[in-house]
Structure 1
Amino acid sequence: MRPGTGSFTEFLAAAEPHLLPQRPIDPYSGPAGSGPDVPHATTIVAVTCADGVVMAGDRRATMGNIIAQRDIEKVFLADSHSAIGIAGTAGLAVEMVRLFKLELEHYEKIEGVRLSLDGKANRLATMIRNNLGAALQGLAVVPLFAGVEDSFGSRGTAPMPATGPGRIFSYDVAGGKYEEHDYFAVGSGSVFARSALKKRYRPGADLATAVRYTVEALYDAADDDSATGGPDLTRRIFPVVVAVTTTGAVRWSDEAVGAVADAVVTGRMQNPGG
């Protein structure tokens, strides 16, 4: 109970290290970079807009040439004004997201204030860097982080409205952090998603238009990448969409995203190329 670091990971490493999600990988279990055959999550897109930023992810997880899961969730609320999407090894990525959310809560409880958006992005970079050993064995985690600046008052005061435009941060497997502008995508279908966004993106679009951009980009990614799942109209499985604005981060309902997906699919019936 003595005062210490504001990092939950460092606290847990000292108090109960066995509870950390990272596990040592036996370097002699196989050739470098091979890794076990585990589910992988793909494609995440993020788009800035006049109100903030929108992040969306498809619902498919693959294990080699097998569809491991059709309705996995890859986009999460990190806190009240940020979102995180995962690509890479699904199990490790989900554990990293849970630990990251605990990090943000722990810091606020210990320090009495919230981390800035840059501070959150830097903390996530450190967590990715700590997973480098597993990444070299083929268990890489490459998230996408986005949000708006959360202006929180000094210790003991009420939170103030968030200000500033939406921002997007991408990472590499070594923990390198890069701020992206306007839009970005990660995952196996990211090349196709970014190509679609390059044609469709318009600065200053409203929130509904930005959501349409992300759904169309994921549709195009699924059209060319077998590891990316498009809207499943039969099972009613649609992308997970999170909108982060100055009033907070909100996950769109399946019904709302489904209406956008239905409109996109209907349009592609007339013009398959978009």
Structure 2
Amino acid sequence: MDRASNQRGVLTTGTTTVGIVTKEGVVLATDRRVTAGYYIAHRKGKKIWKIDNHVAATMSGAVADVQMILNELTHLAMDYKINHQTPIPIRTLANYASVIMFYSRPMIYIAHMIIGGVDGEEGPVLYAVDWYGSFTREDRFMSTGSGSPTAFGVLEDGYRDDITLNDAVKLAIRAVKAAMLHDPGSGEGVDVITITKESGYSEVQV
């Protein structure tokens, strides 16, 4: 996750984030390295944002842009729960993030997120939202950031439709670690969380 683009105007988004869907819930995993171009700005950056107990998001892109959007989503989730006495649908959050980024044009927000969790309408689900305002539902897995090509290879090889939550955690860790070996923008360890209907948001010790 970068703090800025380089002087030639080429966007560099150094990070690896992963999301996996299982029948039991979802898994989100990221590396910890925060970069500004080729400079390592922080070695213990948190790139998983808890929006509510049933939903969280990964962070990729420019730090300030992603934090602003996720703050908005967190406030929306709180307001929705107060007014409707039920957790906000995850699709609603993804759609709202899409609207924020789409209508920022031509000065786009440099943000790419995986929004994942479990709700009563869709069960375990992931949504990928990019800086153009596009959002798509992902039924299996997703990865973003400069390490994503390597992570996708590991995910494609290891994912199966009947994967358990525990095996998905192991696969997510393996995908991020593989990316860290090949991508200079990713490193410093792995953070992992799970979200299930029974337990909600839980951090996994790696």
Tell me if TM exceeds 0.5.
yes
Q: 1:117 aligns with which of 90, 100, 104?
A: 90
Percent identity reads 23
Amino acid paired to 1:110 = N
Paired with 1:191 and 1:132, the residues of 2 have a C-alpha distance of: 27
Distance 1:114 1:165, change over 3 A: closer
Paired with 1:250 and 1:112, the residues of 2 have a C-alpha distance of: 19
Decide whether the 8 Å contact of 1:196 with 1:217 is kept in 2.
yes
Distance 1:199 1:178, change over 3 A: same
- Report how far residue 41 of structure 1 moved: 5.7
- Report how far residue 40 of structure 1 moved: 5.4
Q: Which residue is equivalent to 1:69?
A: 42
**TM-score normalized by structure 1?**
0.67
Give the CA RMSD over aligned residues: 2.3
Question: 1:1-274 residue pairs with structure 2 within 5 A?
Answer: 34=9, 42-135=15-108, 140-150=110-120, 165-231=123-189, 239-253=190-204, 256-257=205-206
- Alignment: residue pair count: 200
Question: Please, which runs of 5 or more residues in structure 1 have no aligned partner?
Answer: 1-30, 152-163, 232-238, 258-274
Decide whether the 8 Å contact of 2:32 with 2:191 is kept in 1.
yes
Question: Please, which runs of 5 or more residues in structure 2 have no aligned partner?
Answer: 1-6
- Report how far residue 111 of structure 1 moved: 4.2
Paired with 1:112 and 1:245, the residues of 2 have a C-alpha distance of: 20
- 4+ residue segments displaced more than 6 Å: none
Greater radius of gyration (CA)? 1
Decide whether the 8 Å contact of 2:118 with 2:124 is kept in 1.
yes
Paired with 1:131 and 1:82, the residues of 2 have a C-alpha distance of: 24
Amino acid paired to 2:33 = R
Deviations 1:31-89 (CA, angstroms, capped at 9, x unpaired)? 9x839x9x956211001123111011110111111111110001122112111111000
Paired with 1:216 and 1:110, the residues of 2 have a C-alpha distance of: 41
Q: Which residue is equivalent to 1:19?
A: none
Amino acid paired to 1:241 = V
**Higher-helix-fraction structure:** 1
Amino acid paired to 1:142 = H
Paired with 2:73 and 2:103, the residues of 1 have a C-alpha distance of: 13
Q: Which residue is equivalent to 1:157?
A: none
- Report how far residue 149 of structure 1 moved: 1.5
Amino acid paired to 2:137 = E
Deviations 1:229-271 (CA, angstroms, capped at 9, x unpaired)? 153xxxxxxx221111112432324xx22xxxxxxxxxxxxxx
Decide whether the 8 Å contact of 1:48 with 1:167 is kept in 2.
yes
**Higher-strand-fraction structure:** 2
Distance 1:134 1:69, change over 3 A: farther
Deviations 1:106-143 (CA, angstroms, capped at 9, x unpaired)? 122234444322212211212222444443xxx51111
